[in-house]
Amino acid sequence: MKLGDFLVFLTVVAFAVNVAGADNDSTAKQLDQIVITGSKTARPMSNLPTNINVVKEKQIEKLAVENVDEALKYEEGIYNKRSKGLMESMAGLVMRGFAGTDQVLILLDGQPLNNGYVGRPQYNNIPIEDIQRIEVARGPFSSLYGGNAMAGVVNLISRIPAQKALRFRGGATGGKDAGFNTNLYTGYEDVLFNGKLGVALSFSQKRDEGYVTTELFKTASPGTRGVTVDGVTPTTDRSGAERFLIGEAGLNSAENRSVGGKLWINLNERHSIKTGLSAAWYSYRNSYGRSFLTDSLGRVRDTGYVRFLYKDTMYSISSKLAPNNFLDGSGGQGSLIYTIAYNAILSDEFKFTAGGGLTNQFENWYTSVGTASTRAGGSGKISLSPNTKGNVDLQIEMKNLLPQNNVIAGVSIEATTSETKESNLNDWQNEDELDTLTYTSAGKSVSGGILINDEFTILRDRGILSNLILNAGARFDYWRTMDGMNRDYTSTKVNNHYKDHSKVAFSPRGGMTLNLNVAPVWKPTFWVSAGKAFRPPTNYDLYRTWLSSTGWITEGNPDLKPETMISIEAAMIHRLFNNRLQINLTGYQNMITDMVYTTTISDSLKIKRKENLGKVQTRGIETGLNVRPVSILQLFSNYSWTDAIVHENAVNPASVYKRVTLVPEHIVNFGFQVEKGWVMARAGTRYVSKRYSLDNNSDTLTGVYGSYDPFFTTDVRLSIKPREYISFVFTANNIFNNEYYDYYRAPGRTLGGEVVLKF
């Protein structure tokens, strides 16, 4: 990755370049626009001491991506972890040194999507075509939102119908090393009763026939046991230990379907209701794998003991080959998401909002093969973890009740429940043929918070000073666990019922923003901020213990405490020449206590456990330079440096002064977008540096299955819009076909096209 390292150096020297201009679909920070996420109410971005980006509808369309997390992959400081396309059931966003999918709060129209089990949203289930804009606010936001908002908040805001419209999107992509993918969306919008009622209905289906993502290995030692075979390839694991490639798993495919509806009810000019309901189903499958081994007669060998010649010595595979070595299970999720919000303008000074949401993951399962599994059937296992999360928020906004002050105050409550059951299957290929129950775990939690936040304009319009604004607030939260338990029915020793326990958290945050108008061609903005955040452990962290296919046991920990963080931040943005040139630079440092972390307990016994780390420090820089040299051309690039280091871990000292797992040190994005008339062309390149998955960072090797390689990919888009109602889009992802592993084998080059209709 010498080219990638050079790009890191080049971008640091240049302070990065991130597309810009003054148009609505630019990726520049348009500080005069109104945002919601950074303050829980509609405020100008320039008033807020926060690094915020907004991806608007037109820009989403030009990105031509299929999933909402992919719309953020070129945003500064964000690594969207999606290692194998639609088949990635655990996609997530890594921000500011936090790789946990439950450490970034994801909202849909202001309501949390992080589920009640692992705290992770299922991005595959959210049709990106329904999203009008995405707001990303980086940094700690527990002072406004409570738990989960450690690294930042991402708010997905649905489209509001403005007129009667029918939308259609259909496309397909494919490639030699990526499979064939289809995407179909249709949506209907209407405004009825003289604007009193808005209606939106949508249906989405995504299907990927898949590709081979998993390779199969065995260890071996000198010996003569078994049949002599060819086809063995010597290699290593991610830490350098010797192993041998003997085959590959089958095609890993996936499908997603979702249907949804939304209503906007304008009771009058001052009162409105917005509500939505969506249901989604996601599943992934694996076809039969194959062995690379052949005997002297050319017959494929996938059973019994085998031997092979290696370094002029005969080696024997350490364990007997069996049909189940070349089989893998399947999985699926079904979810129901409901949101509702009521807005009331009580007077010129008072505004009241009430909102609520329910995320019911009524299906959440995966199967695994057993020792007796074959292509014809045989026993297996299934794990089912349905869960539910609900919340209610009440908020009042008071404008200029005190001169130059905008105050919000609110209360919220949130509850989760989850239960995991593991059972044997009579047939590993049929998830409905349940046999005996072998394991169960369950838990509930409830939390409540009270918040207040004030935006105070200290000075306004004093010479070159446009304004000086203080934002300060705090939130008090109470968190409690209930009915925690786990039981292993195969052992009388594991039957635990845990005591309820509770914690309180106080999360203040304050910041100062200075906006200057030095000259018509130069408008700088500066801010500093500091705050505290917390995140309680999930039910999964507390109670779930499971065995992986590699033989490692990951134990839950019912004694976990909430993780807490103190954060400081300083930033500047320079807008020049009517926003044709924009430079931004943000620096931050986070001091984290009791971070919930998967820690190695014993390498020999293959045991990991969720533990609270003593101290972790993350610090970083997010920088960009936005340029529009001519009206038809935008150039973009940004650079992020993240130094995330463990400083105290009494359970595993080998992880001390090592990097936090799955957090890249360097991220670089750059590219261009040119648009003239009915033609638009765009190219974007992304570099992500090496990540570590082991807490002692011993997985230093790259280019092997299970490693998290640095990668360098380029995507290209060409859109032709001959009429206002129709667009033809041609796409090329990973156009240079760079090969790398993001644990799994990453997709190769894909080429595709789609048609977008709007009537």
Please, are residues 50 and 136 in contact by the beta-carbon 8 Å criterion? no
Across 193-347, where does the E strand assignment appear? 197-212, 215-218, 220-222, 227-228, 233-236, 242-248, 251-266, 271-286, 290-291, 306-310, 313-317, 331-345
Give yes or no for a contact between 405 and 397, defined as CB atoms under 8 angstroms apart. no
**Of 154, 120, 119, which Cα lies nearest the Cα of 138?**
154
Task: Render pLDDT for 334-370 as a digit per residue (tens, 0 to 9).
Answer: 999 999 999 999 999 999 999 999 999 999 999 999 9
> How many Cβ atoms are within 10 Å of 500's Cβ, its own excluded?
11
Cα–Cα distance measured from residue 254 to residue 203, given in angstroms and rounded to the nearest whole number: 17
Q: Which residues pair with 284 in a beta bridge?
A: 254, 331
One-letter amino acid of 433 = E
Angle at 659 between CA 656 and CA 664, to 5 degrees: 175
CB 56 within 8 A of CB 19: no
The residue count for the chain: 759
Q: How far apart are the first and last CA of the chain?
A: 46
Distances (CA, A) of 34 to 40, 48, 117: 12, 11, 34
Helix (H, G, I), strand (E, B) or coil at 544: coil
Q: What local confidence, expressed as pLDDT, does residue 30 receive?
A: 72
Give the chain's radius of gyration (CA, Å): 27
Closest CA to 84 of 742, 750, 690, 751: 742
Q: Which pLDDT value is given to residue 492?
A: 79
CA–CA gap between residue 416 and residue 455 (Å, rounded): 32
Structure token pair of residue 601: 């307990």
pLDDT (tens digit, 9 = 90+) per residue, 612-657? 999 999 999 999 999 999 999 999 999 999 999 999 999 999 999 9
pLDDT of residue 494: 87
Res 16: pLDDT? 35
Q: Which amino acid is at 451?
A: L
Write the DSSP string, 63-112: HT-SSGGGGGTTSTTEEEE-TTGGG-TT-EEEETTB--TTSEEEEETTEE
Task: List Cα–Cα distances, 549 to 371, 554, 574, 696, in angstroms.
Answer: 12, 12, 51, 21
What is the per-residue pLDDT for 270?
A: 95
Question: How far apart are the C-alpha atoms of 284 and 69, rounded to whole Å?
Answer: 19
- The β-bridge partners of 416 are 389, 445
**Rounded Cα distance, 743 and 750, in Å:** 20
- The predicted-structure confidence for 77-129, as pLDDT tens digits, reads as follows 999 999 999 999 999 999 999 998 889 999 999 999 999 999 999 999 999 99
Q: Can you list the domains of the chain with their CATH numbers?
A: 2-214+249-289+327-758 (2.40.170.20)
Q: What angle do CA 532, 651, 239 make, to 5 degrees?
A: 105
Do residues 77 and 52 lie in contact, with contact meaning Cβ atoms separated by under 8 Å?
A: no
Averaged over successive runs of 10 residues, the pLDDT of the chain (759 residues) comes to 42 36 55 88 94 95 95 95 93 94 93 93 94 97 95 95 94 92 97 94 97 96 96 96 97 97 94 97 97 96 96 95 96 97 95 97 96 94 97 96 93 98 96 95 97 97 94 98 95 89 97 93 95 96 89 93 98 92 96 96 92 97 94 96 97 97 98 96 98 97 97 98 96 96 96 96
